[in-house]
Structure 1
């Protein structure tokens, strides 16, 4: 393994990057920025693609990856050796699911099954022995983070794959993720997590999860970091570089430990990759009650994460000017739209002043401002129907304007998500599931905030960029 990107490594500008000024300016990344290229660097990018051939292309590729402007072209990455990975499986019951997972992993793999004091340990041990895996029993139930860490202590291969027992692997998932580690800065890679159809058909909850699962992060590859379009990856299946992850997960966390794991690695300067070409399947909850409990459980991680990552957990990130636009629009007065346009115009002027190297600074500033307004409106809708819904409901009882804002947000959110995800479900049931999803998650956030006596996880981050 070298300490730099190898020759032949190829990156492609992602879909969020816009090329302006004849290739001199790249707009995008996370956070959004304008990257100006000299003529030599501009010539290195052909059809939005850059192939490493020398020191100059290597430096530019690394910079684009670090900025979140480009993603590796999978076909340019060398094949990986799966014998270099050990699978660590935390288990609490569910021997049938474990049998299904181990079958999908296949024979001849290094597998450590960590039993977290299952009530049916004998059945778990029988499945493990049948597949020739290693059985590691714990004496005290500590949760998935503790179980993974105990398994990690016994890993001797360069890479480790953490995989939950309710997962089924695609045969190429592991090898596909391993290919990303040719980049020496990559510490972690994660696949796309899809819903498992066991052959008995999917009910309406499973069809909603198929389209809008909390675990499915979409069809586009991405650099994973806080405050980016893909800000985390679930712990359902993760492949990690052993010498990058230290002792592993935060043992004291029973929820949100996967998010904390990812964010700590990002803070240390490592790259984390989301690769949708690698696929695994997750057994989604089928019963409404169990499903809602799980959504609330996800929300309950907000306060523990806010204690460890106070600058990354905010449910919305707004610039002062965009917060002003939202305030005047929520006022719903005759002057609201003109005031919002005035504030937006001021933002265009401020941004344009910083873009003096652009050929068309006002036009670029207008694009960025428009995107900022739309993003702020989307985040505000999410606050009203998801994170802040208890307050929004109370306010709606007394305010006709708030009732209108909540109603518009509830309906428009469903329309936009239905159009984006195109689920195998009718709009009515999709809309019901969408609102139940948000209500349960928001309830979990509020429960954790009240229990922790802190509103940090509920507060938007308003900062100058």
Structure 2
């Protein structure tokens, strides 16, 4: 695979990157990159087009792959009407009205393949597709979204394919914005931000919650998708893919048709494990018709949770609900124990992490301060993981602990309230704290129930086990 960036490519530092030592060091998400003087001068010019400068290209590749930079271009993207090497694949079943709305919103020059995944009344969908001039592929029985997407992929002939669910509507500008990422020859998959419908005065509390906290909405910041990264997966509600990447034997083909849930996460992780790049680009948006009636909403959250077990069978460490280093493991145990020794042990763990980081950062002008900041950030992330574990993946265990122990009740109560408050502050919903907290806890309870149900069906606890990371974060 060619990883050389073209001359028209550029990079900008990611928003979460901190510049330390007067530009000699970049720090983000526990990752530290020490820059040589020449690289430092290039970073000072960012955002920067690499042009024909090989050193700039090598630096851009390094920073992009470490998640410290995002792609940047000096000129705006092509208009949607100017991109002509893409086929849109729409898998659907008994949703003719939704397909008609979607077809009306797509750029009219693009070839479209609609895959009827065993509709009970196929004639209505056939009429919609025929009127729009699209191609219809009919599966005689319902085989699931993975099989439907694969059928559409086989019918496509263009280098790039958009997988678009029938309950989304793309916002103008999406095609050119996503397509230019494929100028990087190592990029296999790109996805936009998936948002809910525009708010209205008649929205209920679940509508407002989903508008801010949908499982499909990965946030406002662009990112390199990495296992256990800030963005760790992409939903298949809307994906743009490079068809040739699926010919790579290391990828192992497109969607796994044995999976009814989580097939999109599995695809992204296989692509990443084969050393292809995957990007999340929120500058492009699509609007999704979220479920906002309580019982269907809870059922959908639980359905998402059932995907954890089959994913854990294929990618054991990637699906772990908690990722710990030895230091954060000690810290988490100390805080959950709530004993007299908890505070000194937690302080000792932070001191050890700081000392270890200081040795790594010996070339820094301020190694102790930088290492201490990284250790504190790791501690905060550990607390967040612990709270999420108690209220989401492991809530049945936490509930038993709370019934049997005052310490368990304190831990669960603090986790449930503090995590909801912190999460609300992060996403800024148009919803009061009480109803947001209630919706968030129901969300986690339903997802966690799905995880446990999937684990029981698979007869495997892998999806519930933490992952202990012994190796240090690459520099």
Verify: 1:321 aligned to 2:327, yes or no.
yes
Cα drift, residue 74 of structure 1: 4.9
Cα drift, residue 79 of structure 1: 2.6
Question: In structure 2, do the counterparts of structure 1 residues 36 and 76 end up closer, same or farther at CA, with 3 Å as the change threshold?
Answer: farther
Match of residue 298, structure 2, among 276, 289, 292 = 292
3-state SS of 1:449 partner: helix
3-state SS of 2:440 partner: helix
Aligned counterparts of 1:454 and 1:420: Cα–Cα separation in 2:
34
Aligned counterparts of 1:443 and 1:47: Cα–Cα separation in 2:
50
What residue number does 1:61 align with? 60
3-state SS of 1:188 partner: strand
Kindly indicate whether the alpha-carbon contact (under 8 Å) linking 2:2 and 2:186 is maintained by their aligned counterparts in 1: no
Aligned counterparts of 2:39 and 2:74: Cα–Cα separation in 1:
23
Kindly indicate whether the alpha-carbon contact (under 8 Å) linking 2:223 and 2:231 is maintained by their aligned counterparts in 1: yes
Aligned counterparts of 1:201 and 1:156: Cα–Cα separation in 2:
44
Unaligned runs of 5+ in 2: 248-252
Aligned counterparts of 1:130 and 1:298: Cα–Cα separation in 2:
35
What residue number does 2:70 align with? 71
What residue number does 1:429 align with? 435
Aligned counterparts of 2:339 and 2:3: Cα–Cα separation in 1:
59
What residue number does 1:33 align with? 31
Kindly indicate whether the alpha-carbon contact (under 8 Å) linking 2:92 and 2:114 is maintained by their aligned counterparts in 1: yes
Aligned counterparts of 1:43 and 1:197: Cα–Cα separation in 2:
43
What residue number does 1:18 align with? 18
**171-180 or 48-57, which moves further after superposition?**
48-57
What residue number does 1:391 align with? 397
Kindly indicate whether the alpha-carbon contact (under 8 Å) linking 1:225 and 1:262 is maintained by their aligned counterparts in 2: no
Cα drift, residue 51 of structure 1: 2.5
Kindly indicate whether the alpha-carbon contact (under 8 Å) linking 1:8 and 1:76 is maintained by their aligned counterparts in 2: no
How does 1:48-127 map onto structure 2 within 5 Å? 48-53=46-51, 54-76=53-75, 79=78, 81-127=82-128
Kindly indicate whether the alpha-carbon contact (under 8 Å) linking 1:181 and 1:187 is maintained by their aligned counterparts in 2: yes
How does 1:229-378 map onto structure 2 within 5 Å? 229-246=230-247, 247-378=253-384
Deviation per CA, 1:242-275: give whole Å up to 9, x if none.
Answer: 1112331111111000001111111111111111
Deviation per CA, 1:40-95: give whole Å up to 9, x if none.
Answer: 11111125433303111011001111111100125547537421000000011111
Aligned counterparts of 1:104 and 1:329: Cα–Cα separation in 2:
52
Cα drift, residue 192 of structure 1: 0.4
3-state SS of 1:83 partner: coil
Cα drift, residue 3 of structure 1: 6.2
Question: In structure 2, do the counterparts of structure 1 residues 154 and 238 end up closer, same or farther at CA, with 3 Å as the change threshold?
Answer: same
Cα drift, residue 170 of structure 1: 0.9
Kindly indicate whether the alpha-carbon contact (under 8 Å) linking 2:49 and 2:73 is maintained by their aligned counterparts in 1: no
Aligned counterparts of 1:406 and 1:114: Cα–Cα separation in 2:
46
Aligned counterparts of 1:348 and 1:106: Cα–Cα separation in 2:
54
How does 1:185-224 map onto structure 2 within 5 Å? 185-197=186-198, 201-224=202-225
Aligned counterparts of 1:413 and 1:84: Cα–Cα separation in 2:
45
Match of residue 426, structure 2, among 403, 420, 427 = 420
Aligned counterparts of 1:314 and 1:131: Cα–Cα separation in 2:
44
Kindly indicate whether the alpha-carbon contact (under 8 Å) linking 2:320 and 2:466 is maintained by their aligned counterparts in 1: yes
Aligned counterparts of 1:148 and 1:270: Cα–Cα separation in 2:
20
Cα drift, residue 200 of structure 1: 8.1
What residue number does 2:250 align with? none
Cα drift, residue 136 of structure 1: 0.5
3-state SS of 1:264 partner: helix
Q: Give the TM-score normalised by the residue count of structure 2.
A: 0.94
Kindly indicate whether the alpha-carbon contact (under 8 Å) linking 1:136 and 1:151 is maintained by their aligned counterparts in 2: yes
What residue number does 1:156 align with? 157
3-state SS of 1:250 partner: coil
**93-102 or 3-12, which moves further after superposition?**
3-12
Unaligned runs of 5+ in 1: none
Kindly indicate whether the alpha-carbon contact (under 8 Å) linking 2:48 and 2:72 is maintained by their aligned counterparts in 1: no
3-state SS of 2:158 partner: coil
Deviation per CA, 1:269-290: give whole Å up to 9, x if none.
Answer: 1111111010000000021000
Deviation per CA, 1:106-136: give whole Å up to 9, x if none.
Answer: 4222000000001121111111111111010
3-state SS of 2:12 partner: strand
Aligned counterparts of 1:273 and 1:348: Cα–Cα separation in 2:
32
What residue number does 1:7 align with? 7
Cα drift, residue 177 of structure 1: 0.4
Kindly indicate whether the alpha-carbon contact (under 8 Å) linking 2:395 and 2:445 is maintained by their aligned counterparts in 1: yes
Deviation per CA, 1:347-390: give whole Å up to 9, x if none.
Answer: 21122112222122211110110011000000000000000000
Aligned counterparts of 2:76 and 2:159: Cα–Cα separation in 1:
18
